[in-house]
Chains A and B, each alone.
Chain A
Amino acid sequence: MKLPVYLDNNATTKVDPRALDAMIPFFTEDFGNAASRNHPFGWKAEEAVDHAREQIATLIGANEKEIIFTSGATESNNLALKGVFEMYAEKGRHIITAVTEHKAILDTSKHLEKQGAEITYLHPAENGLLTLAQVKEAIRPDTILVTLMFGNNEIGVLQPIREIGAVCKKHGVLFHSDATQAVGKIPLDVIDDNIDLMSFTAHKMYGPKGIGALYVRRKNPRVKVTAQMDGGGHERGMRSGTLNVPGIVGFGKAAELARLEMQSDTERIIKMRDRLENSLLMLEESYLNGSKEHRLPHTTNISFKYVEGEGLMMAIKDIAVSSGSACTSASLEPSYVLKSLGLDDELAHSSLRFGLSRYTTDEEIDFTIKCVTDAVNRLRDMSPLWEMFKEGIDLKSVQWTEH
């Protein structure tokens, strides 16, 4: 077993060697520009792009003409929100989203507010879930777009996308979903799930970084977005720029592999995830963050009370995970997603996010369970808070000296 163990697959995944193999010829041999119409170099590149577009469209139940290639999910989210706002501004200026969205949605929303958009930010329940009633109540006559993520990057919670999509359809409001964490991990279908626009990216599903896509529906309704990148009119005029052919080929292959292997991968991953989760939840005063039931198969997020997040991260340096603690960065603010679920700063700081992949092994899970358990026990043994808790002292009643 190689150390450190990589369990940060919600941040990015290893490229599947089969996807990499598919890409390589497009760097040095078939290096043509997919927009070159006059010679075989261009034709070969275009053919490869067309094939990949089909592989990707098939994975999500779309038509290949509905796939707009971008540099990644952040760009897709920007294009979806800004593009819809500009295209449909005459219809209205109201957009609905949620406080637990990724920064690529929240910061784009803030940008649009400065441009005159009105944004409603829905607040999920303690388990991270939004309700249909919340969405229904928020829709107004001037609402043009609802944007809600499929699966949350920090806690893995899956929103009732299909039902929300149906509500939007009924009200004639476009529905965009940031499905970055969900595509390739769980079965989804843009038609059945009533999605009009959807952002996703290759590098979260064993493809390369720097290539993503925006699904833009062409029928019932026909959706248009105003381009945010002007130039040669690539991607049906919605996103100019020379296509990243090797990236697209790798993305396509990764999508095909995801479609073929999702079920068997998921069965294995869920077993490992549940074993990890159940073992860590055996520790006293450890808490699962977000809904247990409505969740991505590869994610678990757990808080360990009376253990400080940064100290914990230092103790488990042989495991690569993310923490809700932002102590090591410039800001001292813990995860806004966890805080929006009602966690206090302390619990948000002491959370760990584990993201498994198709490459995760049972041995790595065993190691992780032992490493985290030992670290939590060791740090609690030297934590005055743990001692006070064990003595039955209510920590809220203590007069702390803030500094």
Chain B
Amino acid sequence: MAYSEKIIDHYSNPRNVGTLDKDSPNVGTGLVGAPECGDVMRLQIQVNPETGVIEDARFKTFGCGSAIASSSLATEWLKGKSVDQALTIDNMDIVEELALPPVKIHCSVLAEDAIRAAINDYRVKQCLEPIAEEKWHH
């Protein structure tokens, strides 16, 4: 399969690989996927509680090149955004940016799921209601 240059770049030089303190009240962690499906993504955001801005984002991904690239790109996009702005990231934006082939669209969906899970984890820690599935844009 031929991959786009952007996928290869993110796969070869992944941005923001790492781990944030999952017990910190300012860190939201999203762990999505399953080992037997061949994809597991863990995406973490560190939010400034004063401003609501995502100051840091980290990921670790078990998966194919497209899954690694999707999560790497997601962390790049999350940094500097407010939590509210982060809610607007759509999986199709990732598909477009990386030129993901059709069989790899699920990788972008997983990245969006990971963002959602990380934000909700943060919201729960801040004693806010998690955003319900149906309220999520699509």
Residues in chain A within 8 A of chain B (CB atoms): 306-311, 314, 325, 327-328, 332, 344-346, 349, 379, 381-387, 395, 400-403
- Are A381 and B17 in touch, CB under 8 angstroms? yes
Is B132 interfacial (CB-CB < 8 Å)? Answer: no
Q: Which residue in chain A gives the minimum CB-CB distance to B63? A: A308
Complex A-B: 10 CB contacts under 8 Å: A308-B63, A310-B63, A310-B65, A311-B62, A327-B64, A385-B62, A386-B62, A400-B35, A403-B34, A403-B110
- Are A308 and B62 in touch, CB under 8 angstroms? yes
Residues in chain B within 8 A of chain A (CB atoms): 1, 3, 11, 14, 17, 19, 31-42, 59-65, 67-68, 106, 109-110, 113, 117
- Indicate whether A314 sits within 8 Å of B65 (C-beta atoms), given known contacts A381-B17, A382-B17, A384-B41: yes
Chain B residues whose CB sits within 8 angstroms of the CB of A314 once the complex forms: 3, 11, 64-65
Chain A residues whose CB sits within 8 angstroms of the CB of B59 once the complex forms: 382
B70 CB to closest chain A CB (Å) equals 12
CA A310 – CA B19 in complex, angstroms? 23
- Are B68 and A403 in touch, CB under 8 angstroms? no
- Indicate whether A308 sits within 8 Å of B17 (C-beta atoms), given known contacts A328-B1, A402-B34: no
Of the residues B17, B35, B36, B64, contact of A311 by C-beta under 8 Å: B64
CA A345 – CA B63 in complex, angstroms? 14
- Are A346 and B17 in touch, CB under 8 angstroms? no
- Are A383 and B61 in touch, CB under 8 angstroms? yes
- Are B14 and A382 in touch, CB under 8 angstroms? yes
- Are A346 and B67 in touch, CB under 8 angstroms? no
Chain B residues whose CB sits within 8 angstroms of the CB of A379 once the complex forms: 62
Q: Which residue in chain A gives the minimum CB-CB distance to B71? A: A382
Chain B residues whose CB sits within 8 angstroms of the CB of A400 once the complex forms: 33-36, 40
- Indicate whether A346 sits within 8 Å of B65 (C-beta atoms), given known contacts A314-B11, A381-B17: no
- Are B113 and A384 in touch, CB under 8 angstroms? no
